[in-house]
Structure 1
Amino acid sequence: MGVRTGGAARTVWAAALAGALLGPLALGGCGLTSGSPMVDDVVPGSVGQGLPLKGADLTVTSKNFSENIILGQIMGLAFKAAGASVLDRTNIQGSIGAREAVKTGGADGMYEYTGTAWITYLGHDRPITDPREQWRAVAEADARNGITWLAPAALNNTYALALNRANEKKYGTKTLSDVAALSKSDPSAVSLCVESEFAARNDGLPGMAKAYGMNVPASRIQKMDGGIIYTQVSGGGSCTFGEVFTTDGRIKAMNLAVMADDKHFFPNYNAAPEINAKAMKKYPAIKDVLDPITAKLTNDVARELNAKVDVDGEDPHDVAKDWLIKEGFIKKG
């Protein structure tokens, strides 16, 4: 989601990689000016037969949290197996830089989240409840911005609040309405750890607090990196509740309890490829390469892949490559 920072939280790995690989890069108006070529020896499996992207020079990008980096690597590897020369410009700070890269042609494609586009980029206040209609509305609106949206995944990386099992037992909260009620009946019981972007976005904390009548003073809201939120909540640290993402593998690994969005405040954040319209026109085979892969992306798949990075410490590129090979989409050369 990017922020959404949209999908999986940012990770220590992502921050380290950003510093090591992207720190020296000058950031232009589109958010990036350099990158590294993908040199993997991969060939078509079930996608890319006949090398439909042979001769294409394509650049992929992503935001700087684990899930989106993995998705960016998936896209790049699929293009590579289909014959393209691929420049890897994934792991860009924040949501806007990667989005602008695709919009302006600094990159050719990325996986974006429908709710992020609808609320953050296109400026709407209210999400569309039906996920397919949300995607359709985004695709139609963004066509005017020079961006083509391909078919969406079932993967829906939306926001949530979570707490550890001890606090769940202590306070008995199951829904965001329960958290709002607790914030009024026992204000000292509710403290929040959130990312800075979530704290400011209309589809984040301000909107959630308004929709649920949640009364949490600023003194009880701490802003921090997403990876730290999980450890703070899990260990009963400085916050009772923390902002999490529903596809994050650490929810299961840390045995956290997720509060149900019982008023359906948060938008659908279905992942889908957004492609620069000029690149799409020039290389229409991009759709045939990506559609079957996107169709396999579910919340369960995302949690599994995200956990390999955020819990097991694996490299997102390796995680993406192993999954594509396991699913038969590409093969080793």
Structure 2
Amino acid sequence: MRRRGWLIWLAVAMVALAGCGLVSSSGTFRATSLPDGKKPLEGAEITVTSKNFTESVLLGKIAATYLAAAGADITDMTNAPGSASSRQAMLNGTADLTWEYTGTAWVTYLHEKEVIANPQELWQKVHDVELEQNNLVWLPPANFNDTYAFAMSTPTSDRLKITTMSEIAKLPVNERTFCINDEFFSRPDGFLPMLQTYGMPYNTPNGVPADNVTQMDSGVVYTATAKGEPCNFGMVYTTDGRIKNLNLVVLEDDKKYFLPYSGTVVVRKETLDAHPEIAPLMAPISEKLTDEVMQELNGRVDIDGEDPSDVAYEWLKSEGFVT
């Protein structure tokens, strides 16, 4: 259940946390300390939550591990059940800190339809509205953007010799073959308007005929794309570890169709006011987290089967954040 499950959100939001507390199927992280031994958050009680897909859990574990190393008493509520649980926990004060995505907030939470291609501009708008309406502070975003993209296998890339989405429209119609999941096909900001934006209208002889599009489960999209069968171009998430593992080549979204999904630490204003040290502590973490880093970390969980708590701890240690 990716964060983009906007249809699921509508159903789950009505019942999230009704009659019960926020429950985690995870709840553990590695104990450690800061290299200088200082505890700038000593005495702080902070509940960290996340959604229940790999990247969100990993980010939650990074925050929980690092803030605990800084002396905070952490309640780990990462891997919250249902796509709406962690959001509701932040709104009702059950949780204090989470990682979120600017695109998710803009489309799913704030119900905005305007496409803002500039990541900083989108973050600023989300920041301002969330602070005013929900008393949530969006700290400066990290250096990764987990948005939609289309990718090719390396052999397909070598054969077609294209690097941008616009160049697909210059290929013969029979080469414009796509693998996507059902949700992306039906989204109002998904596949059909994307084809329109790039001058390849769906189900038209000179665009992308319906027979050129195969809908399948998200996981199968990656393997089908790597095989180049039945499609040349597969829908991917830009920080997914399978991109690197399968040697996929991501096309540039040169018309900036896809909304930015910049990963961002979100803190309840009351919590940040009480413990302003959180912001400078999390800033260097955000700076280090790039698309390539997230692909590697996600791959260690999804492909290599490592525990998110261990991956989070080992990354923090390797970067010198904890000892």
Task: Sort the TM-score into its range (normalised by shorter chain).
Answer: 0.7 to 0.9
Q: Answer yes or no: is the 8 Å Cα contact 2:179–2:233 preserved in 1.
A: yes
Distance 1:37 1:162, change over 3 A: closer
Match of 2:76 among 65, 68, 88: 88
Measure the CA separation in 1 of the matches of 2:198 and 2:303.
32
Query: Unaligned regions of 5+ residues in structure 2, if any?
Result: 7-14, 204-209
Stretch moving more, 36-45 or 264-273: 36-45
Question: In the alignment, which residue of structure 1 is the partner of 2:239?
Answer: 247
Can you list the C-alpha shifts for 1:35-66, whole angstroms capped at 9, x where unaligned? 254353212236x83241424141322341x2
Can you list the C-alpha shifts for 1:130-164, whole angstroms capped at 9, x where unaligned? 32222111100111123210111111222111121
Residues 1:117 and 2:105 are matched in the alignment: yes
Residues 1:133 and 2:121 are matched in the alignment: yes
Question: In the alignment, which residue of structure 2 is the partner of 1:3?
Answer: 3
Partner amino acid for 1:301?
V
Q: How far 1:173 sits from its partner (Å)?
A: 4.1
Question: In the alignment, which residue of structure 1 is the partner of 2:9?
Answer: none
Q: Answer yes or no: is the 8 Å Cα contact 1:2–1:94 preserved in 2.
A: no
Question: In the alignment, which residue of structure 1 is the partner of 2:313?
Answer: 321
Question: In the alignment, which residue of structure 2 is the partner of 1:10?
Answer: none
Question: Which secondary structure state, in structure 1, belongs to the residue aligned with residue 265 of structure 2?
Answer: strand
Question: In the alignment, which residue of structure 2 is the partner of 1:142?
Answer: 130
Q: Answer yes or no: is the 8 Å Cα contact 2:149–2:237 preserved in 1.
A: yes
Residues 1:179 and 2:141 are matched in the alignment: no
Q: How far 1:223 sits from its partner (Å)?
A: 4.2
Q: Answer yes or no: is the 8 Å Cα contact 2:46–2:97 preserved in 1.
A: no
Partner amino acid for 2:33?
V
Measure the CA separation in 1 of the matches of 2:20 and 2:109.
15
Match of 1:195 among 161, 181, 200: 181
Stretch moving more, 268-277 or 212-221: 212-221
Match of 2:200 among 200, 206, 214: 214
Q: How many residues align?
A: 307
Can you list the C-alpha shifts for 1:193-250, whole angstroms capped at 9, x where unaligned? 3334433434432432332233345665444443322112112344332111222332
Measure the CA separation in 1 of the matches of 2:107 and 2:87.
14
Query: Unaligned regions of 5+ residues in structure 1, if any?
Result: 7-25
Map 1:1-333 → 2, pairs under 5 A: 2-4=2-4, 28-29=17-18, 33-35=22-24, 36-38=26-28, 40-45=30-35, 49-64=38-53, 66-92=54-80, 95-143=83-131, 144-182=133-171, 185-186=172-173, 188-217=174-203, 220-331=212-323
The RMSD of aligned alpha carbons is: 3.1
Question: In the alignment, which residue of structure 2 is the partner of 1:13?
Answer: none
Measure the CA separation in 2 of the matches of 1:108 and 1:122.
20
Distance 1:196 1:326, change over 3 A: same
Partner amino acid for 1:45?
P
Partner amino acid for 2:88?
E
Percent of aligned pairs with the same residue?
Answer: 37
Question: Which secondary structure state, in structure 2, belongs to the residue aligned with residue 110 of structure 1?
Answer: strand
Question: Which secondary structure state, in structure 2, belongs to the residue aligned with residue 267 of structure 1?
Answer: coil
Q: How far 1:181 sits from its partner (Å)?
A: 4.7
Which of the two has greater strand per residue?
A: 1
Question: In the alignment, which residue of structure 2 is the partner of 1:11?
Answer: none
Q: TM-score, normalised by structure 2?
A: 0.82
Question: In the alignment, which residue of structure 2 is the partner of 1:16?
Answer: none
